[in-house]
């Protein structure tokens, strides 16, 4: 991931977590989400079945703030972001999530909160999940 041409975060094998924070989100919800992200069995075992989590493969986590995930697209032709948390609260919970992930033993990298970044992804599968708690 680059911000103004400088790599700010990268991961090899592992997970890219695009993290959107909505109104009403709190530490308990962040903890539940981290538990789900870190324990989610999306990596193949020796039989080719999705049976392993990021820690079991020795992988890492790249966490990128993504406020557009909080978009309300139900009506009209322009997204509304009224469901998104205030930027200061979103950044606080983003930092909390990242700190807890790193403390859990998963190598964790990040982008810059609210920056205009170029995110490159090699999606193996493709396997993409929208995790909600």
Positions marked active-site: 66-68
116 by Cβ neighbours in 10 Å (0-12 / 13-18 / 19+) ranks as exposed
Q: Which residues contact 3 (CB under 8 A, 6 or more apart)?
A: 111, 112, 115, 116, 117, 118
Q: How far apart are CA 69 and CA 7, in angstroms?
A: 23
Q: How far apart are CA 103 and CA 89, in angstroms?
A: 21
Q: How far apart are CA 74 and CA 88, in angstroms?
A: 26
Pairing of strands 108-110, 60-65: parallel
């Amino acid at each position: 991931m680059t911000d103004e041409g400088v790599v700010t975060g990268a991961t090899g094998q592992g997970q890219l977590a695009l993290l959107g924070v909505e109104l009403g989100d709190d530490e308990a919800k962040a903890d539940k989400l981290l538990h789900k992200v870190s324990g989610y069995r999306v990596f193949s075992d020796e039989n080719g079945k999705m049976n392993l989590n990021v820690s079991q493969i020795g992988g890492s986590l790249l966490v990128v703030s993504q406020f557009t995930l909080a978009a309300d697209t139900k009506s009209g032709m322009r997204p509304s972001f009224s469901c998104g948390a205030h930027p200061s609260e979103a950044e606080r919970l983003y930092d909390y999530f990242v700190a807890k992930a790193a403390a859990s033993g998963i190598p964790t990298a990040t982008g810059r909160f609210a920056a205009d970044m170029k995110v490159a992804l090699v999606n193996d599968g493709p396997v993409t999940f929208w995790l909600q708690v």
